[in-house]
Amino acid sequence: MADNQSDKNAYWSANIRIVTWCLVIWAVVSFGFGILLRPMLSGIAVGGTDLGFWFAQQGSILVFLALIFFYAWRMNKLDAEHGVEED
């Protein structure tokens, strides 16, 4: 029983670690690049506009979508490692 609880705790800990890193990356890209660092990124042109504006309007959305796919892939791998994958 203790081993089963230990495995559950390891699974949950790994899940929380993945979620935390995904949220940190998303916050840095959307809030950091789109708002805080926008003046520093204004000199770099991307698609007819500056990079800071691009991150605020498009970049954070694209990174969010990439994080969704990464999370699904990583959780499938984590599920398989812990023997709780779906059939």
Give tens-digit pLDDT for 39-66: 888 888 888 888 888 888 888 899 999 9
State the number of CA atoms in the 13 A half-sphere of 55 facing the CB: 23
Q: What is the structure's pLDDT at 65?
A: 96
19 located within any domain = yes
Q: Which amino acid is at 31?
A: F
Rounded Cα distance, 6 and 81, in Å: 14
Mean pLDDT of the chain: 89
55 located within any domain = yes
Select the more confidently predicted residue: 53 or 75.
Answer: 75
- Say if residue 1's pLDDT is above 50: no
Number of structural domains found in the chain: 1
Domain that holds residue 51: 15-82
Return the biggest CA–CA distance within the chain: 60
Is residue 50 helix, strand or coil?
Answer: strand
27 located within any domain = yes
- What pTM, to 2 d.p., does this model score? 0.82
Band (pLDDT 50/70/90 cuts) for residue 73 is very high
